[in-house]
Amino acid sequence: MGTSRAAKAPPTRKWNQVIGSLKAPERDAATVIDLTFSIAMHTLPPVNPIAIPIVYGISEGLRFAADVEESGIDVAVKKEALRLSGKYIIPSISDSLWNLAANRIDLNYANSAFGRLAEQAFKQTMNQVLSKGAAALEGES
Amino acid sequence: MSATKEDAEKNLKAFLKEHGREGLLELFLTNYLFELVMYYLHSEKNKPAVNDDTAYRFYVDGRDRVYPAEKIEAFKRELRTECRKKAVAIVTIIKEKELLDKLEREILEDPQIAQLASAAFQSMVSGS
């Protein structure tokens, strides 16, 4: 048996509403999403560990995109001192950019479960955009 | 064949030409919110408040029958669509508050930018 464990549900009886929405015969994604986020967010501390990693990730991604648009990728890579791997150019750009973002936030945030989720989403986003171009977002509709 | 730096540049520029920087933000937030909701929907019991396993209920219906794989995949797509709607709403707020440029350039100099962006994110996600 594996050693990994899922996170515990948020410590509030209100979470049973989420479970109830999953049990519904015709479960509704919008209801599940709204209940999940509204109940989960209210169980978190005031200084939100969820938003900080994503905000710094966004900042890093936007800055790199602007630099590439204005000056080209060679200049952007050099400016941020990104370490690229010859064989895996795109994943190495995403990795290096995330490392820059993670270095700018509190280690506790970066290494938290939410920091890991932000890392995963950030790298996925950059990989999608750098490998698919405009189609990365078109596939969403 | 592996993508080159030139491929990456061409793709990124094509994305920005079509969707702009807000498109990048929208995709990132959609991916993040989807990861976040899947994280919560795969949580386990937390007694005494929560006596059921949420992850079990994600895959098994109210009559204890396992959902077919295609139904689970369809539900995940619906969840992702809802996450995208929230992402679009957050992007709208970020733009209204004129935070997009600031997020890109001034976040390192002004910590308040990060707080404002966090607040926008939090308010849209939690519905408060």
* Predicted pLDDT of residue A62: 94
Residue B2 falls within a domain, yes or no?
A: no
**pTM, rounded to two decimals:** 0.91
Cβ neighbours around A71 below 10 Å, total: 12
Whole-number Å distance between alpha carbons of B36 and A91: 22
Give the start-to-end residue ranges of the domains of chain A.
11-43, 51-136
What is the chain B residue with the closest CA to A43?
Answer: B126
Domain presence at residue B15: no
- pLDDT class of A47 with cuts at 50, 70, 90: low
Assigned domain for B117 exists: yes
| B66/B72 Cα distance (integer angstroms) | 10
Which chain A residues are closer than 8 Å to B119 by Cβ?
A: 51
CB contact under 8 A, B13 and A69: yes
Assigned domain for B76 exists: yes
* Residue B55 contacts residue B41 (beta carbons within 8 Å): yes
Number of domains in chain B: 1
Confidence label for A46 from pLDDT (cuts 50, 70 and 90): low
**Prior bond to B48 cis, omega within 30?**
yes
Distance between CA atoms of residues B91 and A1, nearest Å = 42
Which segments in chain B show pLDDT lower than 70?
1, 107-109, 128
| Residues A118-128, mean pLDDT to the nearest whole number | 97
CB contact under 8 A, A9 and B49: yes
Q: Which residue has the tokens 């209204």?
A: B96
Per the domain annotation, does B95 fall within a domain?
yes
User: What share of chain A in percent tops pLDDT 70?
Assistant: 92
Residue A141 has pLDDT above 90, yes or no: no
Over range A49-60, report the average pLDDT: 87
Over range A57-82, report the average pLDDT. Answer: 95
Q: Up-side HSE of residue B57: CA atoms within 13 Å toward CB?
A: 25
Task: Please report whether residue B59 resides in a domain.
Answer: yes
Reported confidence tier of residue A11, pLDDT bands at 50, 70, 90: very high
Task: Compute the average pLDDT of residues A99-122.
Answer: 92
How far is CA A67 from its chain centroid?
A: 21
Give a yes or no: residue B13 inside a domain.
no
Residue A14 burial by Cβ neighbours in a 10 Å radius (0-12, 13-18, 19+)? middle
From the list A9, A37, A63, which residue is nearest B46 (CB)? Answer: A9
pLDDT higher than threshold 90 for residue A33: yes
* Residue A8, phi then psi, degrees to nearest 5: -80, 150
Confidence at residue B97, expressed as pLDDT on a 0 to 100 scale: 86
Closest-CA distance of chain B to residue A1, Å:
17
Q: Is the pLDDT of residue A102 over 90?
A: yes
Q: Do B78 and A114 touch (CB under 8 A)?
A: no
Contacts of A71 in chain B (CB under 8 A): none
Residues of B in contact with A40 (CB under 8 A): 40
For residue A2, pLDDT beyond 50: no
Q: Who has greater pLDDT, B101 or A74?
A: A74
CB contact under 8 A, A34 and B25: no
Full domain range(s) for residue B96: 20-126
ipTM of the complex: 0.91
